[in-house]
């Protein structure tokens, strides 16, 4: 039996998302690039590569990982490139997307040999969290002044507009894309490609994939552009769990179960956005599932179980692929989860385990 904690990636569940990806790509003509900021666990890139067109990055290291481990088309984006990074970035990328006109100006000569783009900020988004809202007041994410952007169109061939965040509402997507079509029409007519970013939850249950495909194709035809999408969560929805073991049970007014994992170290977004984890369990026995770090708020959530929990029980925290493995850390020196893959035949492959040497090496 594999020692917990570990992230368990299920290839069969991943295949379901990839089938939706193929359907959307074929019907819309859009190309899809895996957003490595969300999921960069390359041991399953062999499966994803056949169903996606490449990767998009947020840093030099993500860019290099995408090229070396995924291949195909490689888009390079960073909120700000450093002088010592730009030559290497241009060497890895098919397209480089600058966050500002200032960066485009600064690295004009260094980037002249590849396709270049600029990030636009439409000044609206679907994010319900100010922390993650790219259109928040005084946002540093992208340009919005059309006069300034039109003045540099001779140096760019496309733009990236990232404004969706786990948006499962197609009607909202449709309305906001219509605003982009209106607000940026003079610019879009001059481009050859447009990335609409990520955050469109098209692999969610019941999402109208065909309507999205038709809308994207209409946008592409209207402006004569190649459309790109940058799915992160949509690529790996429901494809992984965090497997943990109950270490202790106590009652301080509620039944508490302490497990061999940590929210802050292994599912940080739950803490950042004050959300509960998901478990596919139900029953009359309630427990608060708690992490083992010293942080008082290290709590996965409250769940009902079909039977009382016991020390040694193994439980699965669902939908644990996105923004987890890319954010895992060594807080408290808690054992970092391994990475395990459930193959299509049901067998388990241990792709990576972490030990004390990894912890020590990360600190000096």
Cis peptide before 5 (omega within 30 of 0): yes
What residues contact 218, with CB distance under 8 A and at least 6 apart?
Answer: none
- Name the residue among 66, 54, 56, 45 with its Cα closest to residue 25: 54
Residue 74 has a pLDDT of 98
Is pLDDT at 305 greater than 90 in this prediction? yes
Point out which residues pair with 8 in neighbouring strands.
241, 340
The tens digit of pLDDT for each residue in 318-362 reads: 999 999 999 999 999 999 999 999 999 999 999 999 999 999 999
Residue 259's SS3 state is strand
Q: Taking residues 296-321, what's their average pLDDT?
A: 98
Residue 306 has a pLDDT of 98
The tens digit of pLDDT for each residue in 37-54 reads: 999 999 999 999 999 999
Tokens of 55: 């990767």
The DSSP secondary structure of 261-316, one letter per residue, reads: --HHHH-HHHHHTT---B-S---SEEEEEE-SSS-TT-EEEEEEESS---TT-EEE
Q: What percent of the chain has pLDDT over 90?
A: 98
Classify strands 240-251 and 314-317 as parallel, antiparallel or unpaired: antiparallel
Question: Between the CA of residue 277 and those of 4, 132, 231, 281, what are the distances in Å?
Answer: 18, 19, 21, 12
- Name the residue among 252, 266, 306 with its Cα closest to residue 282: 306
Q: Taking residues 3-29, what's their average pLDDT?
A: 98
Q: What is the pTM of this model?
A: 0.96
Helix/strand/coil percentages in the chain, nearest 5: 30, 25, 45
Confidence label for 212 from pLDDT (cuts 50, 70 and 90): very high
Is pLDDT at 158 greater than 90 in this prediction? yes
Tell me if 118 sits within 8 A of 188, measured CB to CB.
Answer: no
Residue 258's SS3 state is strand
| Token pair 């100010």: residue | 130
Tokens of 87: 């030559």
Directed axis angle between helix 170-183 and helix 209-223, to 10°?
A: 10
Tokens of 164: 């969706």
The tens digit of pLDDT for each residue in 255-295 reads: 999 999 999 999 999 999 999 999 999 999 999 999 999 99
Average pLDDT over the chain, rounded to whole?
97
Residue 27 has a pLDDT of 98
Residue 128 has a pLDDT of 86
Q: CA angle, corner 37, sides to 34 and 39, nearest 5?
A: 60
Tokens of 162: 């990232």
Distance (Å, rounded) from C-alpha 228 to C-alpha 223? 14
Q: Taking residues 95-103, what's their average pLDDT?
A: 98
Tell me if 205 sits within 8 A of 168, measured CB to CB.
Answer: no
Give 226: exposed, middle or buried? Use CB within 10 Å, 0-12, 13-18, 19+: middle
Distance separating the N- and C-terminal Cα atoms of the chain: 33
Tokens of 35: 């957003």
Is pLDDT at 89 greater than 90 in this prediction? yes
Distance (Å, rounded) from C-alpha 20 to C-alpha 30? 13
Q: Among the residues of the chain, which ranges form H helices?
A: 11-28, 45-48, 60-65, 86-92, 101-106, 146-150, 170-183, 185-188, 209-223, 233-236, 263-266, 268-272, 356-361
Residue 322's SS3 state is coil
């Amino acid at each position: 039996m594999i020692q917990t904690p570990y992230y368990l990636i299920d290839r069969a569940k991943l295949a379901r998302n990839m089938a939706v990806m193929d359907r959307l790509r074929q019907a819309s003509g859009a190309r899809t690039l895996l957003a490595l900021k969300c999921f960069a666990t390359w041991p399953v890139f062999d499966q994803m590569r056949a169903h996606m067109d490449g990767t998009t990055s947020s840093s030099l290291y993500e860019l290099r990982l995408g090229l070396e481990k995924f291949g195909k088309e490689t888009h390079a984006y960073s909120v700000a490139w450093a002088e010592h990074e730009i030559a290497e970035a241009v060497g890895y990328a098919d397209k480089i997307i600058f966050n500002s006109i200032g960066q485009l100006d600064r690295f004009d000569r260094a980037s002249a040999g590849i396709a270049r783009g600029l990030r636009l900020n439409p000044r609206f988004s679907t994010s319900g969290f100010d922390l993650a809202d790219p259109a928040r007041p005084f946002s540093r994410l992208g340009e919005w002044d059309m006069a300034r952007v039109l003045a540099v169109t001779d140096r760019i061939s496309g733009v990236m507009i990232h404004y969706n965040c786990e948006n499962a509402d197609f009607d909202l997507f449709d309305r906001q894309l219509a605003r982009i079509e209106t607000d940026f029409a003079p610019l879009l007519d001059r481009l050859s490609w447009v990335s609409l970013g990520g955050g469109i939850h098209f692999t969610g249950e019941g999402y109208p994939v065909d309507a999205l495909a038709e809308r994207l194709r209409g946008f592409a035809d209207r402006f004569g552009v190649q459309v790109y999408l940058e799915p992160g969560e949509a690529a790996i929805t429901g494809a992984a769990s965090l497997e943990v073991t109950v270490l202790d049970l106590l009652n301080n007014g509620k039944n508490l179960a302490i497990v061999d994992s940590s929210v802050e170290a292994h599912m940080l977004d739950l803490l950042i956005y004050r959300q509960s984890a998901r478990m596919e369990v139900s029953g009359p026995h309630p427990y608060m599932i708690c992490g083992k770090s010293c942080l008082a708020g290290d709590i996965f959530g409250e769940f009902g179980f079909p039977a009382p929990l016991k020390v040694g029980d193994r439980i699965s925290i669902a939908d644990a692929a996105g923004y987890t493995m890319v954010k895992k850390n060594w807080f408290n020196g808690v054992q970092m989860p391994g990475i395990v893959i459930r193959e299509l035949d049901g067998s388990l492959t241990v792709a990576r385990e972490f030990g004390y040497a990894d912890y020590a090496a990360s600190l000096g």
